[in-house]
Amino acid sequence: EAGVAQSPRYKIIEKRQSVAFWCNPISGHATLYWYQQILGQGPKLLIQFQNNGVVDDSQLPKDRFSAERLKGVDSTLKIQPAKLEDSAVYLCASSLGGAYNEQFFGPGTRLTVL
């Protein structure tokens, strides 16, 4: 079974530039999550999708971050404009959905904002 795929793996941009990350979840997984993991910290949930609908985006900085999940499969996370404090690893995870489901994580995209 293929795992969660993310691209790119690494990205370096200057502040005020824009950047986008892509995630392809495990086939058949209804729930998709985006997390931000700052160095030395635990992952912080940014947004959770159930199929193609948002169920929780309470911690997403909506003035600069946006995310979409077209057709309930792939998802993109965008930052525009980026700030220095956005430097982090952005992790995508997916789960079958329903109660207590295990989240499967991708390898992450390491973003460096200069």
Partner 1 sequence: GENVEQHPSTLSVQEGDSAVIKCTYSDSASNYFPWYKQELGKGPQLIIDIRSNVGEKKDQRIAVTLNKTAKHFSLHITETQPEDSAVYFCAAARTGGFKTIFGAGTRLFVKA
Candidates 51, 73, 87; CA nearest to 4 is 73
Structure tokens at 89: 């690893």
Residues in binding contact with partner 1, number by CB under 8 A: 28
What is the C-alpha to C-alpha distance for residues 47 and 69, in angstroms, rounded to an integer? 11
| 113, 82 Cβ separation under 8 angstroms | yes
88 near partner 1, rule: CB under 8 A: no
41 near partner 1, rule: CB under 8 A: yes
Torsion of CA 49, 10, 106, 103, to 10 degrees: -50
Q: Select the span of 12-20, 21-29, 43-51, 70-78 touching partner 1 (CB under 8 A).
A: 43-51
Binding mask 1-40 for partner 1 (x = CB under 8 A): ---x--------------------------x-x------x
Residues that bind partner 1 (CB under 8 A): 4, 31, 33, 40-45, 48, 50, 55-56, 91, 93, 95, 97-108
